[in-house]
Amino acid sequence: MKLLFIFSFLTCYSFHQIDGQETSNQLPVFTLSFRTLALEKGEYADMYIQSDSEDEPTPVFFNRYRRSGSVSYTGTSPLVFFKMEKAPDPEIPPRRIPVAVFNITESTPRSDLLLLMRPNPSTEPNQPEFLVSEMDDSREAFPQNSVIYINLTSLDLVGTVNKKRADFPRGVSQPFSLTPTLNTAILYDNEQDIHFLFENSFEFQKDSRVLLVLQPPKRRGSLRIRCRHIVDSSRPAPTPTPVPVD
pLDDT digits (tens, 9 = 90+) for 22-40: 444 588 999 999 999 999 9
Q: Using 50, 70 and 90 to split pLDDT, how confident is the model at 234?
A: low
Phi/psi of residue 207, each to 5°? Answer: 65, 40
Cα distance between residue 49 and residue 71, in whole Å = 10
Which pLDDT score is estimated for 111?
94
- pTM here? 0.83
pLDDT tens for 100-153 read: 999 999 999 999 999 999 999 988 888 999 999 999 999 999 999 999 999 999
187's CB contacts (< 8 A; 6+ apart) are 157, 158, 159, 194, 195, 196, 197
Segment 47-60 shows an average pLDDT of: 96
Residue 23, pLDDT score: 47
CA angle 113, 101, 71 (to 5 degrees): 35
Residue 232: partners with Cβ closer than 8 Å, 6 or more residues away: 66, 67, 208, 209, 210, 211
- State the Cα–Cα distance between residues 139 and 200, nearest whole angstrom: 27
Does residue 212 contact residue 227 with C-beta atoms inside 8 Å?
yes
Comparison of pLDDT for 129 and 14, the residue scoring more: 129
pLDDT at 236: 53
Question: In angstroms, rounded to a whole number, what is the distance separating the alpha carbons of residues 151 and 155?
Answer: 8
User: Whose CA is closest to 58, among 79, 42, 41?
Assistant: 79
- Strand runs labelled E in the chain: 30-38, 47-49, 58-60, 71-75, 79-85, 95-102, 113-119, 130-136, 146-151, 157-161, 164-168, 171-172, 176-177, 181-189, 194-203, 209-215, 226-232
